[in-house]
Amino acid sequence: MDRASANVKAERLNHARELLQRFDHLPDAVQAYRYLQQARRLRQPVPIGDTKVAFTVKLSQALVRRVRSFANTTGLSLSEIVSRALLAILKQRRGRG
């Protein structure tokens, strides 16, 4: 190894050491490395979705059975089905009152 590449390696190792010191333990550093590897391949920022919160409603047993059956058939989660249904209704109502 020539001196220039040894110097470059030393700089990189020192930089990696500084990065590792910012983390409490190695698994955090490993996860950060994985994110860096994924970020390198991004062509644009990843959109951040709206935060989800729990929302409890009461539905008839028959409707719950139908929704669960639909979820099993489609592979969609109950949350996704309800979200889509509510968004569709709200979109229709947008032009009214």
pTM: 0.50
Residue 60: is its pLDDT beyond 80?
yes
Helix (H/G/I), strand (E/B), else coil: 92: helix
Which of residues 76 and 30 earns the better pLDDT score? 76
Q: Answer yes or no: do 28 and 53 share one domain.
A: no
Look at the chain and report how many structural domains it folds into. Answer: 2
Q: What are phi and psi of 32, to 5 degrees?
A: -60, -40
- What CATH number is associated with residue 84? 1.10.1220
Domain range for 58 is 49-97
Q: Answer yes or no: do 31 and 59 share one domain.
A: no
What is the rounded radius of gyration, in angstroms, for the C-alpha atoms of the chain?
25
Q: Which helix or strand (DSSP H or E) is residue 74 part of?
A: helix 61-74
Q: Answer yes or no: do 27 and 60 share one domain.
A: no
Q: Answer yes or no: do 65 and 97 share one domain.
A: yes
Quickly count: other Cβ atoms within 10 Å of residue 71's Cβ: 16
Interior angle at CA 67, CA 72 and CA 62, nearest 5: 125
Which pLDDT band, with edges at 50, 70 and 90, does 96 fall under?
low
Q: Answer yes or no: do 36 and 53 share one domain.
A: no
Q: Answer yes or no: do 97 and 63 share one domain.
A: yes
Q: Answer yes or no: do 60 and 96 share one domain.
A: yes
Q: How far apart are CA 9 and CA 18, in angstroms?
A: 14
- What is the per-residue pLDDT for 91? 92
